[in-house]
Amino acid sequence: MSQIISITAIGSLSSLGNSSETIWKNYLSESPCFSTQFLDHQNTAVAALDENSKAEVEALRQSDIKYKSLDKSVLFAMVASRKAIEKAGWSKGTEFGINIGSSRGATDLFEKHFQEYLETGKAQTLASPTTTLGNISSWVAHDLQSEGPEISHSITCSTALHAVLNGVAWLRAGMADKFLVGGSEAPLTDFTIGQMRALKIYSKSEDQYPNRALDLDKKLNTMILGEGAGVCCLEIGMKENAIAFIEGVGYATEILEHNISISAEATCFQKSMKMALKNSDISEVDAIVMHAPGTIKGDLTEYKAIEKIFGENLPLLTTNKWKIGHTFGASGILSMEMAILMMQHNQFVGVPFAKAQIQTKPIKKVLVNAVGFGGNAVSILLSL
pLDDT in tens, 336-373: 999 999 999 999 999 999 988 999 999 999 999 999 87
E-assigned strands of 148-243? Answer: 150-151, 178-185, 228-236
DSSP letter at 316 equals E
| Whether residue 45 has pLDDT greater than 50 | yes
| Whether residue 57 has pLDDT greater than 70 | yes
Confidence bin at 142 (pLDDT 50/70/90): very high
* Cβ density class 354-383: b for 16+ within 10 Å, e for less: beeeeeeeebebbbbbbbbbbbbbbbbbbb
pLDDT digits (tens, 9 = 90+) for 65-88: 999 999 999 999 999 999 999 999
| Whether residue 287 has pLDDT greater than 80 | yes
Q: Are 141 and 93 in contact (CB under 8 A)?
A: no
Q: Are 346 and 319 in contact (CB under 8 A)?
A: no
Task: State the pLDDT at residue 265.
Answer: 65
Instruction: List the one residue out of 159, 151, 114 whose CA is nearest residue 135.
Output: 151
Question: At what angle are helices 135-144 and 72-88 packed, to 10 degrees?
Answer: 40
Task: State the pLDDT at residue 1.
Answer: 43
DSSP letter at 237 equals S
Beta strand 42-46 with 316-318: parallel, antiparallel or unpaired? unpaired
Task: State the pLDDT at residue 51.
Answer: 97
Rounded Cα–Cα distance for residues 49 and 41 (Å): 21
Task: State the pLDDT at residue 134.
Answer: 74
DSSP letter at 319 equals -
Residues in the chain, how many?
A: 384
Q: Are 348 and 360 in contact (CB under 8 A)?
A: no
Between the two ends of the chain, the Cα-to-Cα distance in Å is 16
Rounded Cα–Cα distance for residues 48 and 71 (Å): 15
Rounded Cα–Cα distance for residues 108 and 130 (Å): 11
pLDDT digits (tens, 9 = 90+) for 87-109: 999 987 789 999 999 999 999 99
For 248, phi then psi, to 5°, come to: -160, 150
Beta strand 316-318 with 376-383: parallel, antiparallel or unpaired? unpaired
